Structure 1
């Protein structure tokens, strides 16, 4: 009698992501800490001469610095939240939350330009080393250039665990390689789910149908398929956007659009080849018209069937100066645009502990309560030189935190172990990458009484979808229009557009 021994393959887990260490005293950041030391120095000088004035200075300093020491679970202090609310109120008073484009607007030339950070973009088109046309966006103010690739991701259904592990490992290697990509500021993976209009299926049936050989029964069956199959079926599209800096690594010379076009034409064949090994399928660059159609459908989902039909007849002919909304209105909690309303969230906290490779499957899955959904993951890789310095600094800071802790040393020791593990992995060749998530849910807004109910259902649906992913999503209060733009495959790296950059931003 023989016994067969079956060895179970243990499913791999992933984790050990950490918030970047921010220098400062206790919960104070670098700026408030410097302000505290400056305040104490002034008090030390003024105190011996006038104790009353020193007391007043201390009181004022306490009022100003105390809000920066009160932080929520996402690491934002009270001062940041107060500043966001005041900035929002000032913007509303100036009418900055309302935008109108087109021939009856103040937009030069009566164009339908994109709002906000993308209002100053120019679109170019070129050919890469394989002869494929590609779009290149130029953000004039920031001097950034973006190109976009569309993938045909295979998904995780009916895929062996070993293949999934290989894809994840190859994606990790892809992230490491991005740290060596010249002039790359960051890249963005966008997964968009929307109802299928059925135009592609109808077009395929019409091209395959023949008038002479088809029986009445076959025609009846194909007619039923044409009518029934598209109903409720979702379409999933995946994009990868790469954002490059125009400043040259040699002497920081600002490069012209022609030079950046040559750079992207040289890099796209290699980038798409690397993507194929990660389970992304066949990756190809988007053309200018295809990107314009994608952005236009995001702002006005009702025209998606018309664009799908136009694609079957040679394309819609949309140009970059016609992709913006006719009008939008951003409120504190949501965003209204061209017959639709959207809510956007940002990642407040990454999953704690270790997760499986399917951690994002629920968040990316279509939901019947959401007409159009986008989940955008941003990656900002550090160069190898930066990564080595950062992990060593984090390790030293975590060790100092253990020595200084009087209570709760177990948590500090866990942070030290995590920092040491990150330093060891970096020394073995791993890369170091900052990442974040922006998610947007869009529903129809036809002016009916049930518009608010649809928006509330979408809000609840996103909460249910994000819970299994163990990702803490927080609504982008006061920044709904900016977050909506950031979720589009445009390569808008938000930290690169802020007026004041702090360490580890």
Structure 2
């Protein structure tokens, strides 16, 4: 084996959330199975085998229903509860968002809908003289700042560059964990449909950066 073999690091800890229950069941299903097991044991001690068998089957069915999840991660009881709550809210005409003069908010302001209705936008300037907007919750005394970061796009990344990026992100997480006033840092990945303008814009930027430098004809043909 050659001593110059390059070892490529594999980064990433992306994994599905595991349930907190027993044998893959949810916590609610585990509680149902636990209660059912106790009842089955009591009925067996009382020599009521058929009742114990019925309780075991019923507990397993209820646990399966509680543990079943849809593509959004909701179980059937959760969907039933959400559907019932929305139906009651719809009957009270509270499902339509109205802002401004027609708003049901006392001050008739233009606020964000849903859980963000209690927040208000606040503009700020950071230490690097960058302007931004923060969502401030007056009652909870908590603010939310959104930081937008884009991928590398058409640029190719070598292993050293990837290592530096991962190390920088790890350092950011370490510093965030040492800040007692910081409640949470979360990452949201969004993908949008390409309108067809990004690639020509990227090519134009590359050509502008090249300027008057001599570019091989093959490179220009490839970009075209």
Fold shared per TM-score above 0.5? yes
Question: Of the candidates 74, 81, 90, which is equivalent to residue 87 of structure 1?
Answer: 81
Question: Of the candidates 179, 195, 213, which is equivalent to residue 368 of structure 1?
Answer: 195
Comparing 8-17 with 87-96, which one deviates more in the overlay? Answer: 8-17
| CA distance in structure 2 between the partners assigned to 1:108 and 1:182 by the alignment | 35
Greater Rg by CA:
2
> Could you state the TM-score of these two structures normalised by the residue count of structure 1?
0.31
Question: Of the candidates 30, 36, 41, which is equivalent to residue 39 of structure 1?
Answer: 36
| CA distance in structure 2 between the partners assigned to 1:158 and 1:8 by the alignment | 25
| CA distance in structure 2 between the partners assigned to 1:32 and 1:154 by the alignment | 41
5+ residue gaps, structure 1: 1-6, 193-362, 370-505
Counterparts of 1:125-140 in structure 2, within 5 Å, are: 125=123, 128-129=126-127, 135-139=133-137
> Could you state the TM-score of these two structures normalised by the residue count of structure 2?
0.60
Higher RCO, 1 or 2 (CA under 8 Å, sep at least 6)? 1
Contact 2:66–2:77 (8 Å) recurs in 1: no
Contact 2:66–2:76 (8 Å) recurs in 1: no
Cα deviation 1:285-311 (Å, max 9, x = unaligned): xxxxxxxxxxxxxxxxxxxxxxxxxxx
Q: Which has the higher strand share?
A: 1
| CA distance in structure 1 between the partners assigned to 2:154 and 2:98 by the alignment | 44
Contact 2:69–2:75 (8 Å) recurs in 1: no
Q: 1:99 deviation in Å?
A: 2.2
Q: 1:183 deviation in Å?
A: 3.8
Matched residue count: 187
- Describe the SS at the equivalent of 2:14: coil
Residue matched to 2:112: 114
Cα gap change, 1:141 to 1:117, in 2 (>3 Å): farther
| CA distance in structure 2 between the partners assigned to 1:64 and 1:143 by the alignment | 42
Contact 1:103–1:110 (8 Å) recurs in 2: yes
| CA distance in structure 2 between the partners assigned to 1:106 and 1:20 by the alignment | 39
Q: 1:156 deviation in Å?
A: 4.3
C-alpha RMSD of the superposition:
4.0
- Describe the SS at the equivalent of 1:186: coil
- Describe the SS at the equivalent of 2:183: strand
